[in-house]
A and B are shown apart, each in its own frame.
Chain A
Amino acid sequence: EPEVTQTPSHQVTQMGQEVILRCVPISNHLYFYWYRQILGQKVEFLVSFYNNEISEKSEIFDDQFSVERPDGSNFTLKIRSTKLEDSAMYFCASSESGPGNTIYFGEGSWLTVV
């Protein structure tokens, strides 16, 4: 069964460093997403991406964050100048079409900022 894959599964970084989280969405999917889950809290939407541009973003997704689809398969989340409060599980997800279609999640990338 096709699945969303994410790398790395766990990354530890120093405060102030830049981090890139990578994702390979399911191949025929058109919408891509990043969500975040701080330990013990609910899953929060960060950004959605369609047709090579951001289609929607939340208040969390400020200038510190950026997304990119550098080629036909990868979808990346870049976090510049990381802060302690960026420590969280970051989930990549994809869906075949727009709103209402099932969103499939990857296994997550656990980011620890020290």
Chain B
Amino acid sequence: AQTVTQSQPEMSVQEAETVTLSCTYDTSENNYYLFWYKQPPSRQMILVIRQEAYKQQNATENRFSVNFQKAAKSFSLKISDSQLGDTAMYFCAFHSQQAGTALIFGKGTTLSVSS
């Protein structure tokens, strides 16, 4: 069974600085998809970024980028120029192409951005 591990329960960063959130996963599959979701205090789940495993190029979305290391099964999220509105819980998620349609989440990292 696939698992997703986020080893940093909490992180903090100053406004305008860069922070990296870690995520590792375990799977025996070759084709899959990885996601980062943001959950602000409102508790809505908001998609931040998506990565297809067959693509070597790291996904980027404005200030958000990932470092996808397929061999190491690592999928970290980098937030550049952090803003107060980035304060949220961040979840890494795995989506298999073969095992079904369940999205498997990590336990999350709480990010606090301060001024």
Contacts and interface: CB of A to CB of B under 8 A. Distances in A.
B100 A102 contact: no
Given A33-B101, A58-B102, A105 B32 contact: no
Given A99-B33, A102-B47, A45 B102 contact: yes
Interface in A64-114: 89, 91, 93, 95, 98-100, 102-108, 110
B78 interface: no
Given A99-B96, A100-B32, A100-B33, A43 B45 contact: yes
Contact of B102 (A42, A56, A91, A106): A56
B101 A91 contact: no
Contacts of B102: 45, 48, 56, 58
B91 interface: yes
Given A89-B43, A105-B44, A108-B44, A100 B95 contact: yes
Interface majority SS (helix, strand, loop, mixed), chain A: strand
A100 B52 contact: yes
Q: How large is the interface on B (under 10, 10 to 19, 20 to 34, 35 or more residues)?
A: 20 to 34
Interface residues of A, number: 29
Contacts of B97: 99-100
A43 B97 CA distance: 20
Nearest to B104: A45
Given A33-B101, A55-B101, A99 B45 contact: no
B105 A103 contact: no
B28 interface: no
A56 B37 CA distance: 22
Contact of A56 (B44, B50, B100): B100
Interface of A: 31, 33, 35, 37, 41-45, 48, 50, 55-56, 58, 89, 91, 93, 95, 98-100, 102-108, 110
15 contacts: A33-B101, A42-B108, A43-B91, A45-B103, A48-B102, A55-B101, A56-B102, A98-B101, A99-B97, A99-B98, A99-B101, A100-B31, A100-B95, A102-B50, A105-B37
